[in-house]
Structure 1
Amino acid sequence: MTAPAAPTSLYPLLAFCVSALVVVLTTPVVRSLGLQRGLVDQPGERKVHHRPMVRLGGISIFLGSLAALLLTWWLGGFGVLPSDREYEIWGVTIGGLVFFLIGLADDFFSLSPITRLLAQMTVAAGVWLVGVRIDLLTIPFVGGVYVLPEWLSLPVTVLWLVGMTNAINWIDGLDGLAAGVSGISAVILLIVALAVQQPAAALVAAALAGGCLGFLRYNFNPAKIFMGDGGSYFIGFTLAGVGVIGLVKSLTTFAVLLPYLILAVPMLDMVTVILDRLRSGQSPFKADKRHLHHRLLDAGFSHRRTVVLIYGLTLCAGSWALAFANIPSGYAYAIASTLLVIVLFWRSRQRSRRSLP
């Protein structure tokens, strides 16, 4: 027997709140178990923390998102989906589970980069088979939407899903950075998905947003727990998957471009670092301090100001996506967020200069 249906407009809010609540309640339990078992991330040369930290917070984020989706599914929040759309939702949900398990295995056993990459590509190809695929492409400043043949759709989709997964993983270098950037991005995806009438994708985005922002209760500086690779892989894949099934499926130029704009900050950070490493004759997988947050810290920005500034950049990119999606007052939000980033950068720069000897 199913529960009575709730008003459709309440389902995303319900998913957000349930996910956040589950994360807030389960994270202390996960942290306690991690400390008891010694499952911690030790300080190191590339690390900014100075004491062992439990890195299993992704378990709470995954549980929160899953609980929210199962509850809204039981209440009828996903409605009656066409068979192809149902496969897409299951593809993102189950794909997120497998990516989470890959990351969790890396947290426990420190998998090699090649092993991780091959596993991610295999899962991404699997979800492509069930319909989570990029069939449309547009060229910026040229316009027009182009239908991709299957032989090209597969590598493009795998590149996007695996690339965004690792982009979120790579920015997880400061307390609260990956969770905050992902939470902001998920909220923007939620708003745009609703605007282009993709309520199922919006529910997935809402559950993820609640999990990420709820996790900040324990992850913002000074952090008590890290999300680990399990959390960042799950978040990165889910963000990329929602972008595909919620926006890229649309037959409008701007909708096809929106997920790339919303997730521009982690994506550009990853691309810049890879190119910089290759230019230096190093492996693109070699860990170093070339990421945006490392450069801001080196420039004298404090830990918190670095994180807040990158939050601002993410909000700015997302606000421009709202503007291009013709969300009411979208351009006002975009201009306001751009001015906010300028002010944040200027004030942070002034403070960093005063703190220099």
Structure 2
Amino acid sequence: MTLLALLGLFTALVTFGLSWAVYRFALRFKLHPAIRERDVHTRPTPRLGGVAMFLGVLIAFGAAWLFAGRFPLLQIVFNDPKPVLGILGGSLLIVVIGVVDDLVDLDWMTKLAGQMVAAGLVAWSGVQILSLPIGGLTVWSPLTSVIITVIVIVLTMNAINFIDGLDGLVVGVALIANCVFLVYTYSITVRTSPMNYFSLASVITAILIGACVGFLPLNWHPARMFMGDAGALLIGLLMSASAVAVTGQFDPSTLQHVVGRAHLLSAFLPIVLPLAVLIVPFLDFGLAVVRRVNAGRSPMAADRKHLHHRLLDMGHSHFHAVLIFYAWTAVISIGMLLFSFSPVVPVWVAIAFVIVGLVVCTVVTLAPLGRRRTVMAAEAHGIDPEASLTDAPPSSPVLMPAPRPDDPDRARKEAS
């Protein structure tokens, strides 16, 4: 864990320096596209953060490879360099596609084709979903494994890209999800053996955490620079690659012995947890596809109806909307992680954490609707809306006695 922490710290420092350099470069040459109708920001902002993140990831992998000979555990990852090269090759391709799209706005068919090629490089390198515990341990043919792996990677990349609409949103969600996933992969490694596929997943996740930490200072609201499609697609590709390196590559009976759960849950845990940490992006992606198809549009056509847009329309501030996404991601991913620590963590603790967390997140998310109803009710009764939202009851109106007909000051009082 110390080695992984140092690797993440190194990546963070390198990425931060590169992010600042790319930011200054983009400002110097005015490499910032025009503001689109669906954008939330109001000033032109560079979208080359994905380039800095990729360079940070590339340098981190290079440094790890260079020093792997001194660390036997790290050497395991690079004994077969093909998976690492495949992941870096796919990352390079997806970053190039993302940068071109941010600058000239590619059509969705071209972007999808590039994503499939990048995912194919990862699958070709050997990072594949080899099996799933469906009706026992289902093992597919090599071609089927490649196809399923490509589909999973492409879906994940687009799900991450779809939520990239607020400052710090994707970076923060990815940071939380990857921290949880790193704890899971490392705990399984410790409880089984370092000679397994989790070593590659842990290294990918640690490096990605460092890249997110390094870029976050420039992407926090108000953002100096966006990651663009290049950064969002890069995060999606690396997260899916680390998840694929885990999913389907363990014997369910081994996992049952390790996590101390019933056969079914232990077998599906490596599948459920990667989905759990990405549940918010996948939910937004699914809703967007259904919404656009029902409207007769392309599922990849951009609009301003994503979940983060809806939070802003509900009345949440930019900062609160981002924190709500963080909270949902943390509750779901940490809740699923707790199930993997049985019998150290009792089942009821994990269940209680998930239930309480979901209730709190729901209340906070829907809070503006309650305030809106209060304001509407106040306006309907002629009450000051601001006063209706305070804890103190509104003051009662002062009733003046009706003036007598012979009151000499009646005209003055009526005028006032």
1:294 aligns with 2:286: no
Cα distance between partner residues in 2 of 1:189 and 1:329:
17
Answer with 277-286 or 72-81: which moved more.
Answer: 72-81
**Pick from 347, 356, 361: which aligns with 1:339?**
356
Offset of residue 82 of structure 1: 7.7
Gaps of 5+ in 2: 190-197, 253-266, 376-384, 386-416
Counterpart of 1:309 in structure 2 is 324
Offset of residue 13 of structure 1: 0.2
Offset of residue 164 of structure 1: 0.7
1:15/1:68 contact within 8 Å kept: yes
Counterpart of 2:412 in structure 1 is none
Cα distance between partner residues in 1 of 2:85 and 2:246:
13
Answer with 337-346 or 287-296: which moved more.
Answer: 337-346
Counterpart of 2:167 in structure 1 is 175
Offset of residue 308 of structure 1: 0.7
Cα distance between partner residues in 1 of 2:3 and 2:78:
21
1:156 aligns with 2:148: yes
2:93/2:114 contact within 8 Å kept: no
Two-structure CA RMSD over aligned residues (Å):
2.4
Residues 320-331 of structure 1: matches in 2 within 5 Å?
Answer: 320-326=335-341, 328-329=344-345
Offset of residue 126 of structure 1: 2.6
1:263 aligns with 2:260: no
Counterpart of 2:259 in structure 1 is none
Cα distance between partner residues in 1 of 2:55 and 2:290:
36
1:176/1:220 contact within 8 Å kept: yes
Cα distance between partner residues in 2 of 1:334 and 1:25:
42
Cα distance between partner residues in 1 of 2:82 and 2:148:
20
Counterpart of 1:283 in structure 2 is 298
1:44 aligns with 2:36: yes
1:97 aligns with 2:92: yes
Counterpart of 1:129 in structure 2 is 124
Structure 1 residues 234, 40: closer, same or farther in 2, change over 3 A? Answer: same
SS in structure 2 at match of 1:62: helix
Structure 1 residues 154, 84: closer, same or farther in 2, change over 3 A? Answer: farther
- What amino acid is aligned across from residue 20 of structure 1 in structure 2? A
1:214 aligns with 2:229: no
Offset of residue 344 of structure 1: 4.5
**Pick from 367, 375, 380: which aligns with 1:350?**
367
2:292/2:298 contact within 8 Å kept: yes
1:248/1:259 contact within 8 Å kept: no
Cα distance between partner residues in 2 of 1:248 and 1:283:
32
Structure 1 residues 310, 85: closer, same or farther in 2, change over 3 A? Answer: farther
- What amino acid is aligned across from residue 186 of structure 2 in structure 1? L
Offset of residue 352 of structure 1: 6.3
1:231 aligns with 2:231: yes
The TM-score normalised by the length of structure 1 is: 0.88
1:202 aligns with 2:202: yes
Counterpart of 1:241 in structure 2 is 241
Cα distance between partner residues in 1 of 2:286 and 2:133:
19
Offset of residue 155 of structure 1: 2.1
Structure 1 residues 134, 40: closer, same or farther in 2, change over 3 A? Answer: same
Offset of residue 84 of structure 1: 8.4
Cα distance between partner residues in 2 of 1:64 and 1:220:
19
- What amino acid is aligned across from residue 214 of structure 2 in structure 1? G
Higher RCO (CA < 8 A, seq sep 6+): 1
1:164-205 CA distances to partner (integer Å, 9 max, x unpaired)? Answer: 111111110111111111111111221111122212320110
Offset of residue 40 of structure 1: 0.9
2:182/2:205 contact within 8 Å kept: yes
Q: Segments of 4+ in structure 1 off by > 6 A?
A: none
Offset of residue 274 of structure 1: 0.4
Structure 1 residues 171, 138: closer, same or farther in 2, change over 3 A? Answer: farther
Cα distance between partner residues in 2 of 1:169 and 1:231:
9
**Percent identical residues:** 33
Answer with 346-355 or 252-261: which moved more.
Answer: 346-355
Counterpart of 1:6 in structure 2 is none
SS in structure 1 at match of 2:138: strand
Offset of residue 338 of structure 1: 5.2
The TM-score normalised by the length of structure 2 is: 0.76
**Pick from 6, 20, 29: which aligns with 1:28?**
20
Cα distance between partner residues in 1 of 2:276 and 2:282:
9
Counterpart of 1:5 in structure 2 is none
Structure 1 residues 166, 57: closer, same or farther in 2, change over 3 A? Answer: same
Structure 1 residues 346, 41: closer, same or farther in 2, change over 3 A? Answer: farther
1:255/1:325 contact within 8 Å kept: no
Counterpart of 1:58 in structure 2 is 50
